[in-house]
Amino acid sequence: MENLARFYINGAWVKPGDDAREYPVINPATEASEGTLYLAGKSDTDRAIQAARDAFDGFAATPVEERLALLEKILAVYKRRLDDMADAISKEMGAPRHGLAAKVQAPTGLGHLATALEVARNFEFETNTGKTLIRHEPAGVVSMITPWNWPMNQVTCKVGPAIAAGCTMILKPSEFAPLSACVFAEIMDEAGVPAGVFNMIYGDGAEIGPMLSSDPRVDMVSLTGSTRAGSSVSREAADTFKKVSLELGGKSANILTTDCDLEKAVTHGVMSMMTNTGQSCNAPSRMLVPADKLAQAEEIAAKVCASIKVGSSAEKDTQMGPIANARQFERVQTLIQRGIDEGAKLVCGGPGKPEGLEKGYFARPTVFSEVNNQMTIAREEIFGPVLTMLPYNTLDEAVAIANDSDYGLSGYVYAADKDEAAAIARRLRTGMVHLNGAQLDLNAPFGGYKHSGVGREWGSRGLEEFTEVKSIML
């Protein structure tokens, strides 16, 4: 990847400035190097912001039809580079190449671009309400800060609608997921995105995040990341009154009712938790089980975990790859030990690596039971393959436990009666709820309450996020 050591600024691949520093890209499955990138300093960040600022007026004035035609080109090139994208994602964050990377991670980026295109085709950028013309205009220059866990999901659900809205942008992907971002920048370049509309720099979020958030030339910041990062962005953006969109963490509850199909519900809950090695902000990490069925649920969960093939991302039958980086691996191990120390019942898994996987950041699919909502593993987002099972006696108690969290991103309900499931969903203080195994909908608003963020992404609400509303009184 010859462009890995360069930034994409103002329509060209450029060498990093003198204040940039080298950073190794490590394959989490092998702990081997996949190359070296540079982390931007002030000079490169300034160049990228100015390029986006200079391009904004011209791009914002382009007809919507031209922006949609550009999205079609981006989509076409992405389709052709789909295998390259799957390879990159697998190498940088350990997603199984033939399963998750090729069938979900890379195609999800394609799905968001296609959704943005379809939404924009039907979006009313101008409407009349009596004597007033209401316009949705581009929000301006946007700093986009994205994470490593679902790299293309997070990049494309921002870039697609921003292009459609007429914004220009600076993308700072995670330094732990630079390979897919490099491929994406190549896609944007080949598609003919006008110079300065899309710019990409790598960087340490703690170092250049404040610059991207506070610079007066930036009109909006869109971040997907930790609650701590969201708090930092909000503070840095406050003095210039920027628009801020935050998609942050989660500790989502999964309520299993007394009459549900327990085998099916527990199996689905465990597999959903272990997907992407538990590194999903909306993962169902707290399973709430009727107290009289807890022992049975434990047996099912242990059986499911024993069936999960943990291994090299390159092997065709691998279901769960490694944790994406050494820092996160150590955090997960620390929290697993904390669960044991605080008295939770270890059903399966535990500290350490699976047998035969000494190399790589592999963790054991882990389930704790007899957890109460005051334990650390029930309060903090672990972001690894760790499920906590909490017993309850009444549905009112289950809902209270589910809502007793700083987070409010997603929720899950499994019930025999669909009306009951929907009634429970209405009581959950979360931005999303999945009933009886329902999948995500790329047209539905994605986002949460409380510490899980501000604003919504995906679908028409995601496009609106990158606009400002103007009323023209006729």
pLDDT at 467: 98
Residue 1 has pLDDT above 80, yes or no: no
* 130-159 residue pLDDT tens: 899 999 999 999 999 999 999 999 999 999
How sure is the predictor about 463, in pLDDT bands with cuts at 50, 70 and 90?
very high
Average pLDDT, integer, range 421-433: 98
Which residues, other chains included, contact 88 with Cβ-Cβ below 8 Å and sequence gap of 6+? 1, 179, 180, 182, 183
Both structure tokens of 343: 């008295």
How sure is the predictor about 2, in pLDDT bands with cuts at 50, 70 and 90?
confident
Q: How far is CA 179 from CA 120, 302, 407, 413, in A?
A: 29, 35, 31, 36
* 353-371 residue pLDDT tens: 999 999 999 999 999 999 9
CA dihedral 325, 327, 333, 336 (to 10 degrees): -100
| Main-chain dihedrals φ then ψ at residue 432, nearest 5 degrees | -145, 150
Which residues, other chains included, contact 14 with Cβ-Cβ below 8 Å and sequence gap of 6+? 6, 7, 8, 47
Strand 286-290 relative to strand 386-392: parallel, antiparallel, unpaired?
A: parallel
pLDDT at 450: 98
R_g of the chain computed on alpha carbons = 22
Among candidate residues 404, 437, 435, 431, the one with its CA nearest the CA of residue 422: 435
Among candidate residues 320, 275, 293, the one with its CA nearest the CA of residue 389: 293
Maximum distance among all alpha carbons in the chain? 72
Contact criterion met (CB below 8 Å) for 379 and 251: yes
* 162-212 residue pLDDT tens: 999 999 999 999 999 999 999 999 999 999 999 999 999 999 999 999 999
Which residues, other chains included, contact 306 with Cβ-Cβ below 8 Å and sequence gap of 6+? 348
| 258-261: Cβ within 8 A, 24+ apart | 258/290, 258/293, 259/415, 259/416, 259/417, 260/414, 260/415, 260/416, 261/414, 261/416
Contact criterion met (CB below 8 Å) for 116 and 458: no
What angle separates helix 205-214 from helix 42-60, to the nearest 10 degrees? 40
A 10 A CB-CB count for 261 gives 14
Residue 130 exposed, middle or buried by CB count within 10 Å (0-12, 13-18, 19+): exposed
Residue 241 has pLDDT above 90, yes or no: yes
How sure is the predictor about 108, in pLDDT bands with cuts at 50, 70 and 90?
very high
pLDDT at 437: 96
* 374-406 residue pLDDT tens: 999 999 999 999 999 999 999 999 999 999 999
* 436-456 residue pLDDT tens: 999 999 999 999 999 999 999
Strands across the sheet containing 411-414: 345-348, 366-369, 386-392, 286-290, 253-256, 411-414, 434-435
Residue 468 has pLDDT above 80, yes or no: yes
pLDDT at 176: 96
CA dihedral 5, 8, 11, 16 (to 10 degrees): -60
Q: What is the DSSP letter of 275?
A: G
A 10 A CB-CB count for 73 gives 15
Average pLDDT, integer, range 232-237: 97
Average pLDDT, integer, range 312-325: 94
Both structure tokens of 340: 């044991």
| Main-chain dihedrals φ then ψ at residue 168, nearest 5 degrees | -110, 160
- Give me the chain's average pLDDT, please: 97
pLDDT at 212: 98
Q: Which residues are catalytic?
A: 247
* Range list of H helices, 100-239: 106-122, 151-165, 178-190, 205-214, 227-238
Q: Which domains does the chain have, with CATH numbers?
A: 2-248+452-473 (3.40.605.10), 253-442 (3.40.309.10)
Average pLDDT, integer, range 7-29: 97
What angle separates helix 294-307 from helix 262-274, to the nearest 10 degrees? 50
How sure is the predictor about 52, in pLDDT bands with cuts at 50, 70 and 90?
very high
* 22-39 residue pLDDT tens: 999 999 999 999 999 999
